[in-house]
Amino acid sequence: MAQRRTPGLRKRGGLWHIQKQVKGYGSIYESTGTADLREAERYLAHRLNEIRQVVTYGERPVVTFRKAAEKFLNENAHLKSLERSGYSLDVVMPYIGDLSLEQVHNESVAKFKADRLRAGITSGTINKDLASVRRILNLAARVWRHGNGMTYLATPPLIQMVKGPARQPYPLTWTEQGKLFAELPPHLERMALFMVNTGLREGELCGLQWHWEVKVPELDTSVFILPETKNGQQRVVVINHIARHVLESQRGTHADYVFTYEGNPILRMNASAWRKARKRVGLEQVRVHDLRHTFGHRLRAAGVSFEDRQDLLGHKSERITTHYSAPELDQLLKAAHAICEKRPATVLRVVSEKSRAKVGQRVGQKDSARGSAR
Task: Report strand pairing: 26-31 vs 213-216.
Answer: unpaired
Tell me what pLDDT residue 344 has.
59
C-alpha to C-alpha distance for 297 and 307, rounded to whole angstroms: 14
In a domain? residue 321: yes
Answer with the residue of higher pLDDT: 100 or 150: 100
Residues 70 and 116 in one domain: yes
Averaged pLDDT, 16-28 = 79
Residue 332 near residue 224 (C-beta atoms within 8 A): no
Query: Can you give the pTM of this predicted structure?
Result: 0.60
DSSP single-letter state for residue 24: T
pLDDT at residue 249 greater than cutoff 50: yes
* pLDDT tens-digit map of 167-200: 788 999 999 999 999 999 999 999 999 999 999 9
**Helix locations, the chain, DSSP H:** 37-57, 65-75, 82-96, 110-118, 123-142, 174-183, 186-198, 202-206, 241-250, 272-280, 289-301, 306-313, 326-337, 353-373
The answer to whether residues 104 and 155 touch, using CB atoms and an 8 Å cutoff, is no
Same domain, 92 and 31: no
Same domain, 36 and 79: no
Within a domain: residue 154? no
Average of pLDDT values for 326-352? 77
Instruction: Decide if 345 is inside a domain.
Output: no
- Which of 121, 142, 163 is the last residue before a domain boundary? 142
Within a domain: 288: yes
DSSP 237: E
**Number of residues that this document lists for the chain:** 374
Question: Which of 12-16, 70-74, 100-104 comes out lowest in average pLDDT?
Answer: 12-16
Q: Which residue, among 118, 139, 162, 146, has the nearest Cα to 69 in the 3D structure?
A: 139
- Residue 221 falls inside a structural domain: yes
Does 155 map to a domain? no
Q: Taking residues 134-141, report their average pLDDT.
A: 94
Q: Domain check: are 204 and 134 in the same one?
A: no
Shared domain for 318 and 273, answered yes or no, is yes
Last residue of a domain, one of 91, 121, 142: 142
Kindly state whether residues 71 and 220 are assigned to the same domain.
Answer: no
Q: How far apart are CA 306 and CA 331, in angstroms?
A: 13
**Residue 204 belongs to what domain range?**
174-337
Let me know whether 212 and 290 are in one domain.
Answer: yes
User: Total domain count for the chain?
Assistant: 3
pLDDT band at 25 (very low <50, low <70, confident <90, very high): low
Looking at residue 12, its pLDDT comes to: 85
Of the ranges 37-46, 253-262, 342-351, the best mean pLDDT one: 253-262
Within a domain: 346: no
Nearest C-alpha neighbor of 273 from the set 165, 364, 167, 187: 187
Quick one: three-class SS letters along 264-331? EECCCCCCHHHHHHHHHCCCCCCCCHHHHHHHHHHHHHCCCCHHHHHHHHCCCCCCCCCCCCHHHHHH
Local confidence band at 243 (pLDDT 50, 70, 90 cut-offs): very high
359: helix, strand or coil: helix
Which CATH number fits the domain that encloses residue 298? 1.10.443.10
Q: Which of 166-175, 193-202, 227-236, 277-286 has the lowest mean pLDDT?
A: 227-236
List beta partners, residue 19.
29
- The confidence band for 350, taking pLDDT boundaries of 50, 70 and 90, is low
Question: Does 252 or 318 have the greater pLDDT score?
Answer: 252
Residue 345: the pLDDT is: 56
Same domain, 254 and 329: yes
Residues 256 and 276 in one domain: yes
Calculate what percentage of the chain has a pLDDT beyond 70.
85
Residues 52, 195 within the same domain? no
Closest alpha carbon to 340 in 310, 307, 295, 308: 295
What is the structure's pLDDT at 323? 66
Least confident span in 117-121, 136-140, 260-264, 349-353:
349-353
Same domain assignment for residues 322 and 180 = yes
Whether 15 and 33 have beta carbons less than 8 Å apart is answered as: yes
| DSSP H or E segment with residue 223 | strand 221-226
| 179 in the same domain as 74 | no
Task: Evaluate whether residue 200 is within a structural domain.
Answer: yes
pLDDT grade for 84, boundaries at 50, 70 and 90: confident
Among candidate residues 260, 233, 234, the one with its CA nearest the CA of residue 249: 260
- Please give the mean pLDDT across all residues of the chain: 84
156 vs 314: CA distance, rounded Å: 35
Strands 213-216 and 260-261: what pairing? Answer: unpaired
Q: Whole-angstrom Cα distance, residue 100 to residue 106?
A: 14
